[in-house]
Amino acid sequence: MSHDRVVLVTGGNRGIGRAIAARFVAEGYRTAVTARSGEGPEGTFTVRADVTDAASLDAAFSDVEKQLGPVEIVVANAGITKDTLLLRMTEDDFDSVVATNLGGTFRVVKRASKGMLRAKWGRVILISSVVGLYGSPGQINYSSSKAALVGFARSLTRELGGRVITANVVAPGFIETDMTAELPEDTQNEYKRNIPAGRFATPDEVAGVVTWLASEDAAYISGAVIPVDGGLGMGH
């Protein structure tokens, strides 16, 4: 199927973001990615951006708009982790993760929504995590920032839902990425024992849900949280 919509995926140069961008390209979307370094997959337009810097994001959007056209679908995927237990967590450990994962989403969606309102059409897709609602020791900063995306998407739905703009959250569980590959084998096996599906997801399984949410088939879905976690969170 071919589409003429313009998509921007933040953090689209690696991991889940890269798989999402590649899937949009494969389905015929005009696709741009933001990255602080590296390049997006073949067929994408890569722009440099720091999601903690509104001016940097504004310049990136302007570049995409000149090259591809107004952004109609935005996937807020860029994020960081700084895992440690609460009593060892510094204020910077907490603040920097929230500034990137939640603050970055705010800046990206605020900039994208201007064009969506003019077009009277848009899709906002926020990449959260199973730990946002399931919880995880050593990830108070990360899980807090990801849980907040649910309130963000639902508030945005109430603000802009009447303008044919949807906002949804995808909550991946454990995914086969470089990050999970670095975990000790015993740790990986322990995680898999807690997942009813008994395995980690592939990045493409997450990407398929994201592209579906961007399609007309999902036009009446907004404010939803869709887990892609093999049953780990039981729908939250």
Among candidate residues 134, 142, 191, 220, the one labeled active-site is 142
pLDDT at 183: 77
Whether 29 is a known active-site residue: answer no
Q: What's the structural domain count of the chain? A: 1
163 within a domain of the structure (yes/no)? yes
61 within a domain of the structure (yes/no)? yes
Beta bridge partners of 225: 169
CB-CB neighbours of 123 under 10 Å: 24
234 within a domain of the structure (yes/no)? no
Q: How far is CA 80 from the centre of its chain?
A: 12
Mean pLDDT by 10 residues, the chain (236 residues): 85 95 98 95 97 97 98 96 96 98 98 97 97 91 97 98 98 87 84 93 97 98 97 80
Per-residue CA distances from 198 to 158, 174, 180, 229 (Å):
37, 11, 15, 10
What is the distance between the alpha carbons of residues 49 and 33, in angstroms, rounded to a whole number? Answer: 9
- Domain extent, residue 207, equals 6-228
233 within a domain of the structure (yes/no)? no
Q: What is the CATH number of the domain that holds 36?
A: 3.40.50.720
